[in-house]
Amino acid sequence: MPESCEASVILSGDLHARPAGLLAMAAATFESAIELSAGDNRADARSVLGVMGIGATSGQQVTVRATGADAEAAIAAMTDILSQATAVGS
């Protein structure tokens, strides 16, 4: 049975193109399926446009879910990027 986990991060900045690109590139290195959600919006973390499309803004909670053999590592990488990259200006 595949492993799965979930974590949430409160954004310190908007989820714009730069952090969305970092997330998509990092997500592509994992075997696990990774999904980001903010409010009712969900996206595959491998899609830059999808990640930007969830419309997450500063102060909003983003939930990261991963399912697969490397789910824990994927969650750790995504939450690290979300907590650091969104604070960086475009």
Q: How confident is the model at residue 1 (pLDDT cuts 50, 70, 90)?
A: very low
> Could you tell me which residues are beta bridge partners of residue 43?
36
Task: Give residue-wise pLDDT tens across range 65-82.
Answer: 999 999 999 999 999 999
Per the structure block, which two tokens stand in for 12? Answer: 């310190």
Q: CA Rg, the chain, in Å? A: 12
**If you average pLDDT over every residue of the chain, what do you get?**
90
Task: Supply the pLDDT for residue 77.
Answer: 96
What is the DSSP secondary structure assignment for residue 45, as one 8-state letter? T
Residue 36 · residue 51 · CB < 8 Å: yes
Tell me which of 7, 16, 47, 53 is the catalytic residue. Answer: 16
Task: Give residue-wise pLDDT tens across range 4-13.
Answer: 888 999 898 8
How many Å apart are CA 61 and CA 55, to the nearest integer? 11
Residue 89 has pLDDT above 70, yes or no: no
Domains of the chain (ranges, CATH numbers): 4-85 (3.30.1340.10)
pTM of the model: 0.88
Catalytic (active site) residue 15: no
Task: Give residue-wise pLDDT tens across range 13-24.
Answer: 888 899 999 999
